[in-house]
A = this chain, B = another copy of it.
Amino acid sequence: MPQATSPYHHGDLRVACVHAALELLEEGGTAALSLRAVARRAGVAPSAPYRHYADRDALVSAVAAVGYRQLADYLTAAHAEPSSVDDLAAVALAYVRFAIERPALFRVMFSEPCDRDSGNRVAATNIISAYLDSIVRRCFPGADVAALSTALWAVVHGLAFLHLDGKLEASRPSAVADRVHAAVHALLDGR
């Protein structure tokens, strides 16, 4: 016999909140991400999420951490082990594409300095910078790894945000790809 009323306890509200938050971000942008909306979508009272997240920022941090892992997956999917500048440009383009395709999530990931939740969120960030470092090490054995991967992250991150903010036209994917390729080669050719 199917129970008509939902059970008192949700089951796994903690992860349900993150899923709901991701959906809300996709559907309505950053502005749509409210704890109350998350609770509504999870079919739960407005105060329930506070059992699992101290405040809104804590939930946002959890969402950001998921975003970092998805971004890392997206990058490795573009090229598992890049070993040339062209491979590297493909990864750079993936970074920018991720930002353009999921702007609200990307903004959430980089909206605040992540003082709190340093364990989870900082760790997730480190995945990306470690991946970047390993690429640079493989492509440019003699180079100053820290300097070069910082510069590379900066170009890519800057390109992502400038597209997101409409400073660079992002409607034609081929134009985006050309820009990213040009920037990466400008930075790395001749090294």
> Which residues of A pack against B, CB within 8 Å?
107, 110-115, 125, 129, 144, 147-148, 150-151, 153-159, 161-162, 164-168, 179, 182-183, 186-187, 190
Which residues does chain B contribute within 8 Å of A148, judged by CB atoms?
A: 186
| Cα distance, A112 to B166, chains bound together (Å) | 8
| Contacting pair B161 A157 (CB below 8 A) | yes
9 examples of A-B residue contacts, CB within 8 angstroms? A112-B165, A114-B165, A150-B168, A150-B179, A150-B182, A151-B187, A154-B154, A154-B156, A190-B190
Q: Nearest chain B CB to A37's CB is how many angstroms away?
A: 19
Contact B158 A161 (CB under 8 A): yes
Task: Give the residues in chain B near A154, CB-CB below 8 Å.
Answer: 154-156, 158-159, 162, 183
Q: In the assembled complex, which residues on chain B have CB atoms less than 8 Å from the CB atom of A161?
A: 110, 157-158, 161
Would A153 and B158 count as touching, CB distance under 8 A? yes
With a CB–CB cut-off of 8 A, which chain B residues contact A182?
A: 144, 147, 150-151
- Quote the shortest CB–CB distance from A2 to chain B (angstroms): 45
Pairwise interchain contact A147-B183, C-beta atoms closer than 8 A: yes
A147 touches B186 (CB 8 A): yes
- Alpha-carbon gap, A151 to B151, bound state (A): 11
8 closest Cβ pairs, A-B complex: A158-B158, A154-B158, A157-B158, A113-B166, A151-B183, A154-B159, A147-B182, A154-B155
Bound-state Cα–Cα, A19 to B153, Å: 35
List B contacts of A113 (CB < 8 A): 164-166
- With both chains docked as a complex, state the minimum distance between the C-beta of A176 and any C-beta of chain B, in angstroms: 11
CA distance A163 to B125 in the complex (A): 14
